[in-house]
Structure 1
Amino acid sequence: MADSRRERIKEETVRKAVNALLKWRQKKLQSNSDHEEEEEEESEGDDFIYLSLTLKKVPPKALTLAPHRIPLRHSLLPEHHSTLNLCLIVDGKKVTAESALKALAAQGGDPSVNQVLKLSKLKSDYRSFDSKKRLYDSFDAFFATENAVPLLPKVLGKVFYKKKADCSNLEEEIESACNSSLLCLSAGTCSAVRVGRWGVTEGGEIIENVYEAIDRVVEIVPRKWAGIKCFHLKFSDSLALPIYEYLQPGGEDGGSSLVGEKRKRGVLDSARKK
């Protein structure tokens, strides 16, 4: 697998895209610091670099019902999880708050899990936007038991879910989840997974995360490489820079690292100038 994806996606291509995005982000932050009126616009984005993928066909519904964990070589959390303020969400039926606390205590406890919330409490106590915003700001990351994950978008809202919730199984998997990202396959052909974070992961670490994520994504999607149309890298509010696009030269099946050098240079230059 490693040889296959590095043959298809050259490291130099990924490096240029990552460096262009980081330079664009730095320039934007410097520009916004000189124009306070743009702070509200800046808040619309986030600090994550995304690996976006476009499939050739809409994925089966079974693959879109719950997020897929994507292990990363470098964590996107700003600190080790033991020093962070984490919230664990349980369904309250198959896994109750009491059983979750007992399970954590049996393994020595996790000092970073400061609160366990049931879905029913989320529904009753966090209905308004303001209450959800307060919850959003109260924790560094959110986790959920596997059976609670599919219900979270309706309870918390899609924006909260995509930006803040990192969901996993319980107990010993918390540490593993802290070194992972999520792939939420959409009902369409386009999806994305976080692979870097401004101020947390450096350029070389992001590149390694990109390849780790690609390996896992290819395992998940139907038909593996044959089912993937293209990969891009982007911030939520930046241009999407292509790093792989499927080509069919001469009418035969095949892949290419990029559509062409001219197009690549044009896209990368646009990201630098924006």
Structure 2
Amino acid sequence: MAATTAAPPPPKSKLNPKTVRKAVNALLKWRNSENPDLVDSDEFTYLVLTLNKIPPKSRVNAFKIPLPHPLLPESTQFCLIYDDRRTSNLTMDLIQKRIKSQNIPIAKTLKLSKLKSDYKSFEDKRKLMESYDCFLADNRIVELLPRCLGKVFYKNKRMIPVPVDLGKKDWKGQVDSVIESAMLSLSSGTCSVVRVGRTSMSGEEIVENVVAAVEGIVEIVPRKWGGVRSFHLKLLESFALPVYQAVPDETMEGGKGREREVVKDENKDMKEKRKGEEAELKKAKRGKNAAE
């Protein structure tokens, strides 16, 4: 009988949870001291990934990284864009029955044909984007959406529709997977930003999400840990705190100087997203006041 070959052990993580915990505590302490008016509000915690090299292939759809603590609240408003072409077997009646029977939090269903006809202008697309927290898309039409939705959606990577397979019966499982995951978009550059927590979570919950996100991201990026230059953690308006940095190589893309430029660029990019985040906070507050 031939001897079986044991599977190689998984690569040892280079992330120290203690470093993550210190960064999370520092960010929460900074927020409470610098912005006391926002203590009772909720905002995202971001993980900034910097790669050593630009990914060889661009990918429009984001990778889903499972997290132990869901990012999206129960009040999340989903919009589903579906294929209503002749080759599709979907009807509005069928979709509504499936949503109701599986208790799926989809607030709006939008036909591909209606998307093309009713949302032609930039302003129409912007209003659509701001009306819902997250967008889902029939995986058969994903390649058609960049032209239909335009730059307003795809520049703001967190609003890119997440593909779902409507040919499967378990729609709720797929939507739950979106709620319970961080979304990683590897862009045409070396940097990506991933939402990994909310300030309404406990510090330890954020730490656990960060650790899970890092481990999941490392499995996706080219060369795994060998392809990662750094991970930083930040809030919308805070400094980016390092939680992992590879040994600096002065000969690689400018070494330490390049690293500082990357973080500076990410801080600038995060400020550009402030308007959208503030709109989300205002929307949440309106909902809370209405409930009271």
Matches within 5 A, 1:110-121: 110-121=103-114
Residue type matched to 1:78 in 2?
Answer: P
- Gaps in structure 1 of 5+ consecutive residues: 34-45, 250-258, 260-274
CA contact (8 A) 1:228 1:246 kept: yes
**Which of 144-153 and 206-215 deviates more?**
144-153
**Which of 168-177 and 212-221 deviates more?**
168-177
Q: CA deviation at 1:173?
A: 0.7
Change in 2 beyond 3 A, CA 1:87/1:248: closer
CA contact (8 A) 2:62 2:185 kept: yes
Q: CA deviation at 1:25?
A: 2.7
CA contact (8 A) 1:97 1:118 kept: no
What CA distance in whole angstroms lies between the structure 1 residues aligned with 2:10 and 2:92?
38
Aligned partner of 2:12 in structure 1 is: 4
What CA distance in whole angstroms lies between the structure 2 residues aligned with 1:180 and 1:136?
20
Aligned partner of 2:115 in structure 1 is: 122
Counterpart selection for 1:70 from 54, 65, 73: 65
What CA distance in whole angstroms lies between the structure 1 residues aligned with 2:147 and 2:137?
14
CA contact (8 A) 1:166 1:182 kept: no
What CA distance in whole angstroms lies between the structure 2 residues aligned with 1:159 and 1:20?
34
Change in 2 beyond 3 A, CA 1:208/1:139: same
Counterpart selection for 1:23 from 19, 24, 29: 29
| 2:93 is the counterpart of 1:98 | no
* Alignment: residue pair count: 232
What CA distance in whole angstroms lies between the structure 2 residues aligned with 1:166 and 1:74?
22
**Which of 233-242 and 187-196 deviates more?**
233-242
Q: CA deviation at 1:127?
A: 3.6
Q: TM-score, normalised by structure 1?
A: 0.70
What CA distance in whole angstroms lies between the structure 2 residues aligned with 1:219 and 1:100?
38
Change in 2 beyond 3 A, CA 1:129/1:248: closer
Q: CA deviation at 1:227?
A: 0.9
Q: TM-score, normalised by structure 2?
A: 0.67
Change in 2 beyond 3 A, CA 1:242/1:150: farther
Q: CA deviation at 1:50?
A: 1.4
Q: C-alpha deviations, 1:61-120, integer Å up to 9, x for none?
A: 2x52321111111111122xxx54321123445985935863674583334223221344
CA contact (8 A) 2:79 2:109 kept: yes
Is the partner of 2:12 in helix, strand or coil?
helix
CA RMSD of aligned residues (A): 3.4
What CA distance in whole angstroms lies between the structure 1 residues aligned with 2:35 and 2:107?
33
CA contact (8 A) 2:137 2:162 kept: yes
Residue type matched to 2:188 in 1?
Answer: A
Change in 2 beyond 3 A, CA 1:168/1:101: farther
Is the partner of 2:102 in helix, strand or coil?
coil
Change in 2 beyond 3 A, CA 1:111/1:187: closer
Is the partner of 1:87 in helix, strand or coil?
strand
What CA distance in whole angstroms lies between the structure 1 residues aligned with 2:236 and 2:204?
20
| 2:14 is the counterpart of 1:13 | no
Aligned partner of 1:59 in structure 2 is: 55
What CA distance in whole angstroms lies between the structure 1 residues aligned with 2:238 and 2:150?
23
- Gaps in structure 2 of 5+ consecutive residues: 1-8, 166-170, 250-258, 260-292
Matches within 5 A, 1:94-243: 96=88, 98-99=90-91, 102=94, 105=97, 108-149=101-142, 151-157=144-150, 160=153, 161-165=156-160, 167-170=162-165, 171=171, 172-199=173-200, 201-243=201-243
Q: CA deviation at 1:147?
A: 4.3
Residue type matched to 1:29 in 2?
Answer: N
What CA distance in whole angstroms lies between the structure 2 residues aligned with 1:110 and 1:155?
29
Identity %: 45
